[in-house]
Amino acid sequence: MNPESFRKRFAEIPSEMERIVAEGEIPGISCGARFGDIVETASFGVTNINHPLKVNDETFFQIGSITKTFVALAVMRLVDAGRIDLERPIKELIEDFALSDKGAEEKITMKHLLTHTSGMKGDYFKDFGYGKDALEKMVKSMSAIPQINPPGKILSYCNSGFYVAGRAIEVFTGKPFEEAINEMVSKPLELDKIRFFPEEIITERFAVGHQIEKEHISIARPWHIGRAMHPAGGIITNVKDLLKYSAFYFAESAPRRSGIISEDSFEALTTGKIDASPASKVALGWFVEEIEGAKVLQHGGGTNGQISLLIIVPDLNFSAAILTNSSEGSKATSIFTRIVIESILGLSPTTLTPANDALERAEKILGMYIGEMSDLDIFKKDGKLFIREIPRGGFPEEDSEPAPPSLPQEVSISEEGLLINHSEPYLSNAGEFMPDPSSEVAELRIGLRIYKRSLSNEIL
């Protein structure tokens, strides 16, 4: 790919994004791609349906869990400084770290936290106000959360692990989490549009989250996720600064990185070793997939009514990012990803096709699967297989009411026994059924989360 072909291929994106915004479920989108030093951006729609401003490439969005990659980078800088050992128990790093499962409390390491393998309840959200002690209070409150799996057993997406990692950064720098991230990541990477607090944003052009209920779109409230949850998803920025951040990971940026992070730490940060899905692995903070020999780093983000995605292909010196202000934003990120991977980069991800006896196989996996934030119902209707998500509530605040169940999506079973979403039949998106010792299906891992099969076929 050369600069001219890059610009020409990026031109395919605007018409698709305009079409999505016109459908009415996603009020605003800001997206872009970077090839070396060349940056292309495109923005559509409005920031807020009630008080609309046009979205542009300066518009601030919440990037949600993409924040976790900033946390991982900060941790590895502390590893280089000899302050943190990834294999050392967190209990030895944070003296007042306590869990209900004392065995897990003694074993969980920083590596477990950064790879979502601590086994702690991951979707734990609680507001402790805006004081500098908010994160400290959050971590102390985790002494009451359940342990879902033994440390190191299996990857299941874990927001709470990043609260602990963020608290460790506070302990070893002696500074509030936000200040530490700005000093350890934003400043050395010359990022000047990284924000955390509403008071930093209120004078800027910024996006408001939206949600869809009963085919009606409305403002998602509260706007902010709360200070205690910042390490899991608190950064607010625009597409230009996010793409500037992405360039730090380009192969051509290696000389610039030498003064910021060691080669060994950077390799650990970006090399996936633990299975996250049938096609991807987790590194430290990043999810990594190899597509036709190209290493692809990815991380998505989701807050209250805002969905985002960052894709980086280091060896091609390429990245792409999309920010949306709707709970339905994944409809845009899916199409954006397909265009980026297949049309701009010319790569062909592995896709799955339904087995000839998919419906017969489905008899063994039908039923309810119980998760932390939502349950999944897999059922047959009119000779087809479907899945629907039934939210449990608890986000963005601990006592938040559950959203309505999603519309059913048609799925199938592949020859390999994986769950395929017909609208996204990629191997990286497939669900994995996990048997118990008797070979009966006991769990489903999909979307990086573990869902335990209910024996009663009822929502618990």
Burial zone of 242 (CB within 10 Å; 0-12 exposed, 13-18 middle, 19+ buried): buried
Rg (CA), the chain: 21
**67-80 vs 263-270: helix crossing angle, rounded to 10:** 150
Average pLDDT, the chain: 94
The partner residues of 319 in beta bridges, in order of sequence, read 34, 312
**Closest by CA position to 62, among listed 249, 220, 244:** 220
Say which residues have a Cβ less than 8 Å from residue 142's Cβ, sequence separation at least 6: 98, 99, 120, 124, 160, 163, 164
Tell me the pLDDT tens digit for each residue of 167-204: 999 999 999 999 999 999 999 999 999 999 999 999 99
Confidence band of 457 (pLDDT split at 50, 70, 90) = very low
pLDDT tens digits, one per residue of 90-142: 999 998 899 999 999 999 999 999 999 999 999 999 999 999 999 999 999 99
pLDDT of residue 98: 96
pLDDT score of 456 more than 90:
no
For residue 458, pLDDT beyond 70: no
Q: Mean per-residue pLDDT for 399-413?
A: 85
Between CA 93 and CA 85 the distance in angstroms is 9
Say whether pTM exceeds 0.85: yes
Quick one: tokens of 76?
A: 């590895």
Q: Three-state SS string across 239-279, please? A: HHHHHHHHHHHCHHHHHHHCCCCCHHHHHHHHCCCEECCCC
For the ranges 177-181, 210-214, 222-226, 360-364, the one whose mean pLDDT is highest: 177-181
Express each pLDDT in 27-62 by its tens digit: 999 999 999 999 999 999 999 999 999 999 999 999
Q: Which residue has the tokens 């409809």?
A: 331
Percentage of the chain beyond pLDDT 70 is 99
Statement: residue 214 has pLDDT above 80: no
Among residues of the chain, what percentage have pLDDT more than 90? 88
CA of residue 119 relative to chain centroid, distance = 18
What ranges in 34-126 are assigned the alpha helix state H? 67-80, 90-93, 102-107, 110-114
Mean pLDDT lowest among 56-60, 253-257, 264-268, 404-408: 404-408
pLDDT of residue 444: 95
Average pLDDT over residues 416-433: 91
- The pLDDT, as a whole number, for residue 459 is 39
For position 438, what pLDDT does the model report? Answer: 79
pLDDT tens-place string over residues 138-150: 999 999 999 999 9
- The residues, any chain, with a CB within 8 Å of residue 326's CB and separated by 6 or more, are 25, 26, 27, 28, 209, 210, 211, 212, 217, 305, 306, 307
Q: Which of 409, 392, 395 is nearest to 331 (CA)?
A: 409
| Identity of the amino acid at 242 | L
pLDDT above 90 (res 18):
yes
Can you list the domains of the chain with their CATH numbers? 1-349 (3.40.710.10), 358-453 (2.40.128.50)
From the list 235, 141, 260, the residue with the least C-alpha distance to 182 is: 235
Q: Which helix (H) or strand (E) holds 280?
A: strand 280-282
- Specify whether the CB–CB gap between 309 and 321 falls below 8 A: yes
